[in-house]
Structure 1
Amino acid sequence: MRTLHTDTGYLLYRLGLRSGRLFNATLEESGLRLRHYALLRYLASVEGALQRELSERLGYDPSAIVSLVDDLQRLGLAERRPAPGDRRSRVVVLTEGGRDVLRDTDKGSRRVTDELLGPLDPAEREALHELLRRVAEPG
């Protein structure tokens, strides 16, 4: 007989809920939510992104991206600038304030990860990370 704890999908769901709850609690100290962090983290890896690209890369509805970017802009963490080569388009870029907040939230992220993965040794943590990365990558 299968129980919930023998179902990998259910375990991933439960871990996601717990991780999201802990991470959101940490981010609230900065006035952010997990979706804001994801957007900041992505912006830190590029020179700027169109809102359409943010929607595609993060898997969020385009209207949610508009609201998230508005939030980050209001907080001074990101800004919209004219796109190079296309004055009609705007790219979203991370500000220095956004980089600072991201560094601070990264510390909180490490604390949450340490709490969640406490039962695992370093090699197990690395193996889990690699497996999750492979599963999470699109196609």
Structure 2
Amino acid sequence: MTDRPDLAAMIIPLSRALIDAELPVLREHGLSMWAYAVLLALDERPLRTQAALAESIGADKTRIIGFLDDLQRRGLIERTPDPTDRRVRLLSLTAEGRRVRDSAQAGIQSKEERLLARLPDEDRRGFLRALQALAALPPEEIADPR
């Protein structure tokens, strides 16, 4: 028995509160949580298939099609046929998509800064380093960390 709660017991309520804080910012930008996840993921690799995108954000590939249609209709992303396989669509952010994503992210991170300001500087830096290191782990390593 340890003197701390389980990680999930601490992270889940925090995660829910962070999502609740993000929703008004996303609404201001006309984005759903899934649409925002798409815009963030496309920045990592400017071109990728819809299937790869869905896998990277943890969505079913058929479920994100509506979000992709909406983002494309609004001029935030482009979907172009892959020249090597016309059945595959390559995705990329438009300049407007990058602007909307950056503006939404700035609003979200501004709210996060107010929360992080409650921690002493050293704890804050350590928390962010640890969170980034854990978030970078592949899911299978988290499930079975041997």
Determine if contact 1:76/1:97 at 8 Å carries over to the other structure: yes
Aligned to 1:6: 5
Alignment of 1:71-90 (within 5 A): 71-90=70-89
Identical columns (%): 33
Three-state SS of the structure 1 residue aligned to 2:63 is helix
Q: Tell me the distance in 2 between the aligned counterparts of 1:21 and 1:75.
A: 25
Q: Tell me the distance in 2 between the aligned counterparts of 1:130 and 1:54.
A: 26
CA RMSD of aligned residues (A): 2.1
Mean Cα deviation higher: 93-102 or 122-131: 122-131
Mean Cα deviation higher: 11-20 or 26-35: 26-35
Counterpart residue type for residue 85 of structure 2: D
Q: Tell me the distance in 2 between the aligned counterparts of 1:102 and 1:31.
A: 11
Mean Cα deviation higher: 92-101 or 102-111: 102-111
Q: Tell me the distance in 2 between the aligned counterparts of 1:130 and 1:34.
A: 24
Determine if contact 1:54/1:65 at 8 Å carries over to the other structure: no
Three-state SS of the structure 1 residue aligned to 2:130 is helix
Aligned to 2:50: 51
Aligned to 1:112: 111
Determine if contact 1:22/1:112 at 8 Å carries over to the other structure: yes
85 and 118 in structure 1: CA distance in 2 versus 1, 3 angstrom threshold? same
Alignment of 1:1-139 (within 5 A): 6-136=5-135, 137-138=137-138, 139=141
**Cα distance per residue 1:44-93 (max 9 Å; x no partner):** 12121101101111111112221221221122111211113222211111
Q: Tell me the distance in 2 between the aligned counterparts of 1:89 and 1:18.
A: 37
Structure 2 gaps, min length 5: 142-146
Q: Tell me the distance in 2 between the aligned counterparts of 1:31 and 1:53.
A: 24
Instruction: Give TM-score scaled by structure 1 length.
Output: 0.87
Length, aligned pairs only: 138
Runs of 4+ in 1 over 4 A off after TM superposition: none
